[in-house]
Structure 1
């Protein structure tokens, strides 16, 4: 494929332009406590099951990391807690056990953002008061909203493949035109209730170049690309980065895609996935849609969850 090297674009977005976009998108929001997940009904799950051709399951999660790094100063803690040394070789029954703790919303580990994750102008999605997020946890729109899992048709749009490059450099943007062009190049169309995954190549760059300060420098969607999500009525957005570009292209708003997708549209986000296992298979098969199963942990009142999305091809 011919390379399409481009500078970071488009131009910055003013606060007024962002506010106007936010107001437009709110008009597209799906009603209901589950937000955009309500676009996935039983009939869509049945249709998504028809995507299975190979009977092959592929993870879209990165391995959880327990060592600190430039993008992960507070890594997950994993401590084997048993059996005691004096029991390891004793006769009879013994158990190996573990203790695990995680900063869910970091910049390295794969996770799902619940609808209570984004507080904007004193409210959560749908105008729910921000006071529902308390020191004891969220009493509304928590990850428990997705307790029955998220199952539907997944679609992967590979933007580096479209441009003929291995990855997008930090600071570059994915536009709505990129998403449309990727659909055309991959002969796939994103539809209502789909789980949309957008590859920017973050994981491949991290593997080949090493970790960097992704909190301040990363590729992602331009805020205007969220109009594509609204028009197609997608249920979920997942990326191999944070979904937001850094530095932010929007004046006065650090995570505009999070605000527009989660707060305005009620779309659950999945951050820091990895598509390096899945994308080559999709390319070889010439098929970029699949059955997708996402099972967040049942963490009542939590703002998010570690997650391991599975593509079934």
Structure 2
């Protein structure tokens, strides 16, 4: 602590009504290229499953993941809530359930309305004008389009030759440059870098996967967005290092990525299989549930290794 982040909300270069931010950088020609070069021999599922008792962020009082049966085969025979009658319900086995959770649970994407500065979110949308009783009317999860582009693995744990980076390790620009050099890659506009800290190798042990996360320093975050990435992700709960290194902002990386650069953030990715197989660049296919106005939504990112260009 002691230094200031001084993050400010930015106007979108794509106009006063823009809600996509850096996702405007997704390029149809890049999408066509990565789909053509994608190796379908193996599809990597970068998400984690949801279950009662799973580790989740509850530090600010948010609920844990819960699932409840709302209909069971025998219960339907007894209560006949569907009105079909006893004989039919004994024949047809009906099950249904209800899920209750914080939208930033498990593998998910942060929408642009998740964090702002001084009452404003990305593109200067003000809470007094665009925040209703239930949700924001701007920058919600429903505005996020399917993301099909080039993904790049920044394996910082692998670079350091450790199973997992130490708690609260702040990833530097030099770390990222070295990881890219080692992989023989450069970041291009519209790319989505995924940062591996090694935390997911301990999932679902919440004592080792959550709290005091190693992650991006604010300087590294600013360097990445200067390269026109379209989104960012990591295998821990907040992408950035924690706790904050800046006295004026408890999550400066979030405010920079979301409110200043318009870059959505994907959290709690499982990057272990990609790293184990040495897949440094890949075709990324990902889309969130379209929860209108929500500040985040579950996401199931899929990756396929890219064949070399002809």
TM range (shorter): 0.7 to 0.9
Residue 65 of structure 1: aligned partner: 51
Residue 6 of structure 1: aligned partner: none
| Structure whose alpha-carbon radius of gyration is higher | 2
Q: Is the 8 A contact 2:109 2:265 kept in 1?
A: yes
Q: Secondary structure at the match of 2:194?
A: strand
Residue 293 of structure 2: aligned partner: 301
RMSD, aligned CA: 2.5
Counterpart check, 1:138 vs 2:149: no
Q: Is the 8 A contact 1:52 1:312 kept in 2?
A: yes
Counterpart check, 1:249 vs 2:245: yes
Q: Secondary structure at the match of 1:298?
A: coil
1:224–1:98 CA distance, 2 compared to 1 (3 A): same
Offset, 1:62 = 1.5
Residue 206 of structure 2: aligned partner: 211
Counterpart check, 1:36 vs 2:22: yes
Gaps of 5+ in 1: 1-11
Distance 2:108 2:56 in 1: 18
Q: How does 1:1-313 map to 2 (within 5 A)?
A: 12=1, 14-15=3-4, 18-19=5-6, 22=7, 26=10, 32-67=18-53, 74-85=63-74, 92-106=91-105, 109-131=106-128, 132-146=130-144, 148-206=145-203, 210-212=205-207, 216-241=211-236, 242-281=238-277, 283=278, 287-313=279-305
1:262–1:275 CA distance, 2 compared to 1 (3 A): same
TM-score (norm 2): 0.84
Q: Secondary structure at the match of 2:272?
A: coil
1:56–1:224 CA distance, 2 compared to 1 (3 A): same
Gaps of 5+ in 2: 78-87, 306-310
Q: Secondary structure at the match of 1:94?
A: coil
Distance 1:244 1:308 in 2: 21
Distance 2:293 2:103 in 1: 13
Distance 1:65 1:165 in 2: 29
Offset, 1:312 = 2.1
TM-score (norm 1): 0.84
Offset, 1:61 = 1.1
Offset, 1:240 = 0.8
1:65–1:220 CA distance, 2 compared to 1 (3 A): farther
Q: Is the 8 A contact 2:65 2:101 kept in 1?
A: yes
Q: Is the 8 A contact 2:232 2:263 kept in 1?
A: yes
Distance 2:76 2:216 in 1: 53
Distance 1:69 1:271 in 2: 13
Offset, 1:201 = 1.1
> Please, which moves more after superposition, 231-240 or 80-89?
80-89
- Summarize deviations over 1:164-223 as a string: whole Å, max 9, x none: 11111211111111111000111222211011100111112445xx32287651111000
Offset, 1:163 = 0.5
Offset, 1:288 = 1.0
Q: Is the 8 A contact 1:51 1:153 kept in 2?
A: no
